[in-house]
Amino acid sequence: MRIIIDPGHGGNDPGAIGINGRREKDITLTICHYMAGILLHGGHEPILTRYRDIDVSLSNRGSFARGCSGELFVSVHCNSFNNSTANGFEIYYHPAAGLDSISLSRSIHDVVIDNTDLRSRGIKANNFQVLRDTYKFMPAVLIETGFISNPGDFELINSLVGQWRLANYISKGIMDFIGS
């Protein structure tokens, strides 16, 4: 299956800035590179919307996914809030999406929550542009891996081992959804 993996932000857009000045764009890129390797090893064709730290507009992410004839779209982000007690993992699908996007969300959510100490913030509908531009063409989800502003979540999402674990569990959720 051709899976489009979208590392959130990049280039001039650092995304959220977390503890010790850590940038969301760097964390998401590493997680997505790990995901690509895991999914490739699982017999799938992962394609990243960016392979390095470059600018990719929101509209270009969706058109790229469609142009590559993607069969799944997964956008990866880190959450942030001005109150450092906010924490947890959440996943989004487009409000008008079909059951496939909701099922993909559930599959990823359940594997991540069952295998990490991240608190579940749930599965939610949202009209994010990357979802709006992709959901009509393929199951599409946007993942908030944890809060870059929360010390507990940051410990997981900032370490290479934690990033690999997240990539592994997200990829397992994708493969469970696909049935591979």
Report how far apart the first and last C-alpha atoms of the chain are (Å, whole number): 10
Q: Is 90 a known active-site residue?
A: no
Query: What CA–CA distance (Å, rounded) separates 128 from 43?
Result: 29
Catalytic site residue from 24, 71, 90, 144? 144
Query: What CA–CA distance (Å, rounded) separates 174 from 72?
Result: 9
For residue 8, give the 3-state DSSP assignment.
Answer: coil
Residue 77 in contact with residue 145, Cβ under 8 Å? yes
Catalytic annotation, residues: 144
